[in-house]
Amino acid sequence: MVDSQYYLPNDIGISALDCREACRLLSPKEQMYAHYLSRASWYGGLIVLIQTSPESANIYVLLQKMFCAQAPQQLEAVATAAGLSAEEYQAFLVYAAGLYANMGNYKSFGDTKFIPNLPKFKALVWESLAFKQSPGDMETLWGYCCELLYSLEDKQKQLGLGEKGISAYFSGNCCLEDAEFAQKFLDSKNLSAYNTRLFKTEIDGKRCYEVRLASSEVCCGKYEFEDSVFSVKRGDYAFLMEKVCQNLEKAKDYAANENQKRMLEEYIRSFTCGSVEAHKEGSRYWIKDKGPIVESYIGFIESYRDPFGSRGEFEGFVAVVNKAMSARFAQLVSSAEVLLPELPWPLAFEKDRFLKPDFTSLDVLTFAGSGIPAGINIPNYDDIRQTEGFKNVSLGNVLAVAYATQKDKLTFLEENDKDLYIKWKGPSFEVQVGLHELLGHGSGKLFVQDDKGKYNFDQTAVRNPETGELISSWYKGSETWDSKFSTIASSYEECRAECVGLYLCLNKQVLSIFGHEGEDAEEVVYVNWLNMVRAGLLGLEFYTPESKSWRQAHMQARFVILRVLLEAGEGLVGLRECTGADGRPDAVITLDRSKIYTVGKSAIQRFLCKLQVHKSTADVEGGRALYEGYSAVTADGTHNFLHLRETVLLRKEARKMFVQANTYIKGDAVELVEYEGSAAGLIQSFVERFPDDAEEVEAQLLQMTCMDSSCWYPSEIIISNYYQG
């Protein structure tokens, strides 16, 4: 019997992102700018299919062909004729919606595979109009993906490197040692891994690596490195990169100012020739573009899903500023220079100068990628963040629907905490997101010695506050936070930012900025801390015992914080197992609000200082020992976390999916088309997303994925799959 965690439930939450009013307020020029940026984002977002798994693009094309021939409502009659029950057809729609929402068949939040919860998928394909119109093509397409569609072999259950899982950032024969060796090569050539993938072969007993850079131009260079040969090949996702560039070029005609034009020019240069340096230059102009009405960012951004932590997943977003909420964030930015000294590390460990960023609340029009976050702090380039600045955004219309909670589905809390939690979860999370993004990701200095030997700190004076000794390690040359801390970098940094949020939400000035005073302010603090420890327990869903690995950076971070607060003792946090009202295993987590400002604050203060010191000084060994120690999930000690994980899985709730609008040019105007918040609505939004060139896009996706399929699975298995299907 298949574990239910690999199915998406039929009653999964699906909500439409409301952006009509925000778009209505845009001028015609701003609407055109937003439209073409959205088109660039949607084309680029298809790259995530190729980045996620070898089969994702094939499944996407199969579904697109079925739904383009028959809308979900029309296909329902076909499903009935094929012998599917109403529940099975709903399971099919939910699977399809999940594939679109995650841009692949692995969950964007947790990285586990999900499979169709119906045995008659093939029967539905064969009965569909798409099959009757092109039986040969559909049969071949089914053959390419039918086995991998359902396969739950150990390695295919989750994303990972080597034997730990599947990763389309690396060919199937790569392991951690290959990733580390390739990083050494990239560092030697001063190349970033952000927009690359790595493929390994062996010729005459010699290791040969192909580093593919995303670009519309195609070219290749070869290099001898130690005992191996590296080919650096530009042109990965060339067709899609060209589509991105074409739409950015059109957007440029509607840019509001010179910074936006220069930004787009650099992005186009980056996506044309595969230059991360050009993208960094574009990001500099983006930072300078203060307070735009239409905000956007695009490229290979977040490295959460690269098992090595260095390669960025493509994403692009377009959003409209919410002026009322942005005013609060602007006030927080103005207070940052007063709040930063409150953080528990010496002044020398803080940036020399706080570069006040834009911090805006946005209503999302388009967010193309594998998922939509609640807030973002970008760019991720350390050298720019340290000396030139960054921007923070909170995604208001996402927050409005993503974190609404029903009392009967609220797990692991005492009854008297549930009403408080529901009332204050939204306001407290808004405070946490603001602090996390601005003063979490935006704080802390990295000690660096550049290529010319120049230090950005006084090596004769800066002391480690933990030992009292002069610091003895730092970043050298082209080393970055991601390249040094690699596999733990993302989660460690999220943990640091979450701790900053917990620590500074105790500050009355912060709470006042968000409009919380007196008793209300205390409720916000209590629910923020309660939400964090509950999230730490929920995080166990994203731990894989077989490989002893975590699949989600934020949830690992929250589990680590739970461990720190449990370790603080004195009754601050309580966690006990019990039997629920339904007779099944359950658990309850409690927080003593009277000890938050004493026991809790001291524990976070000590831990946060350690996190920052290891990060600032490039102390990988110390940082890894600290972080992996708290990340360990065992049956030992006071709490049997492995057993608690089973309880969490038993009672878990699926993450919501979002339906997004499309925009079209009608004459001289932009038309916004919205869809209902359902699986059928989400599917229809994708069916109508590429109206002019859907067949060409699908053909190119198949070409890209089939060309490399043997890098993960023997070609004879891929080709013969349909006979077994």
Distances from the Cα of 634 to the Cαs of 202, 365, 533, 677, in angstroms? 39, 43, 18, 40
Sign of CA pseudo-dihedral 635, 640, 641, 646: positive
- 136-145 as b/e: b if 16+ CB within 10 A: eebeebbbbb
Distance between start and end Cα atoms, the chain: 20
| Number of other residues whose CB lies within 10 A of the CB of residue 183 | 19
DSSP 683-707: HHHHHTS-TTTHHHHHHHHHHHHHH
Return binding residues for Zn(2+): 436, 441, 494
The tokens of 29 are what?
């020029």
The tokens of 557 are what?
């971070």
Catalytic site includes residue 437: yes
Does residue 697 contact residue 46 with C-beta atoms inside 8 Å? yes
Enumerate residues 6+ apart whose C-beta is below 8 A from 426: 399, 403, 404
DSSP 614-650: HHHTT-HHHHHHHHHHHH---S-SSS-HHHHHHHHHH
Helix %, strand %, coil % for the chain, to 5? 55, 15, 30
Does residue 345 contact residue 607 with C-beta atoms inside 8 Å? no
CA dihedral 225, 228, 234, 237 (to 10 degrees): -140
Return binding residues: 436, 441, 494
Q: Is 341 exposed, middle or buried (0-12, 13-18, 19+ CB in 10 A)?
A: exposed
Does residue 320 contact residue 365 with C-beta atoms inside 8 Å? yes
Hey, what amino acid is at 417?
Answer: D
The radius of gyration of the chain from alpha carbons, rounded to an integer in Å, stands at 25
| Number of other residues whose CB lies within 10 A of the CB of residue 304 | 22
Beta bridge partners of 589: 575
The tokens of 30 are what?
């701003």
In 3D space, the residue among 102, 158, 105, 7 whose CA is nearest the CA of residue 543 turns out to be 158
Distances from the Cα of 41 to the Cαs of 241, 257, 367, 485, 690, in angstroms? 10, 21, 7, 30, 12
DSSP 294-363: EEEEEEEEE-TTSTTS-PPEEEEEEEEEEHHHHHHHHHHHHHHHHHGGGSSS-GGGS-SS--PPEEEEEE
Integer Cα distance of 391 and 414 in angstroms = 38
Which member of 127, 265, 437, 541 is catalytic?
A: 437
Distances from the Cα of 90 to the Cαs of 94, 528, 546, in angstroms? 6, 36, 32
In 3D space, the residue among 178, 205, 195, 295 whose CA is nearest the CA of residue 235 turns out to be 195
Residues with catalytic annotation? 437
